[in-house]
Amino acid sequence: MRYVLERLEDYIAGLVTGAIGTFIIIEGLSYRMGSLHSMGPGYFPVILGGIMVLLALFMVLSAQPEKMAQIGPEDGQLRGMAFLAAAFVGFALTVENLGMLASVAIAVFLASLANRKTSLITALILAVGTAVVSALVFRVGLGLQIKAF
């Protein structure tokens, strides 16, 4: 068991690579293969998937005991990740319905909360300010095809 745990990083890397490679092969085989002389759409993906499976085998067989890289997020990163993701999703969901002013404000507001030291007031001021300036620059100045509101 210790043997496996010491080499866990290489094993995970190998398994992930192998799984993706296998998936590419299976999906690739559903397209026409063709021959070397005249390749179908499936030929190249299957080669790539095959290479990945070989590399995965190499990784697993040559696994070396090693300290794991820190896989868990560092202090404060989980919060950062969640709020940043929310900011991008928030922008994407609102930009076409509510327009640029609102969606930029939402994105900035959510993103600034990714840092726990930023207060709500600061986030709000920054959000409104950025929204107004970017609407002026991109909508009025550059004429981007995004409606302001």
Out of 124, 128, 132, 146, the residue judged to bind another protein by CB under 8 A: 146
Q: How many CB atoms lie within 10 A of CB 17?
A: 19
**52 contacts another protein (rule: CB under 8 A):** yes
3-class DSSP state of 77: helix
Least spacing, CB of residue 1 vs another protein, in Å: 18
**148 contacts another protein (rule: CB under 8 A):** no
Least spacing, CB of residue 5 vs another protein, in Å: 14
Measured at the CA of 121, the angle between CA 115 and CA 124, to 5 degrees, comes to 85
**35 contacts another protein (rule: CB under 8 A):** yes
Measured at the CA of 63, the angle between CA 20 and CA 12, to 5 degrees, comes to 35
Least spacing, CB of residue 147 vs another protein, in Å: 11
**85 contacts another protein (rule: CB under 8 A):** yes
DSSP H helices, the chain, are 2-6, 8-29, 43-61, 77-98, 100-112, 120-134
Out of 19, 29, 115, 136, the residue judged to bind another protein by CB under 8 A: 115
User: Distance from first CA to last CA of the chain, Å, rounded?
Assistant: 59
**13 contacts another protein (rule: CB under 8 A):** yes
Out of 19, 29, 32, 33, the residue judged to bind another protein by CB under 8 A: 32
**101 contacts another protein (rule: CB under 8 A):** no
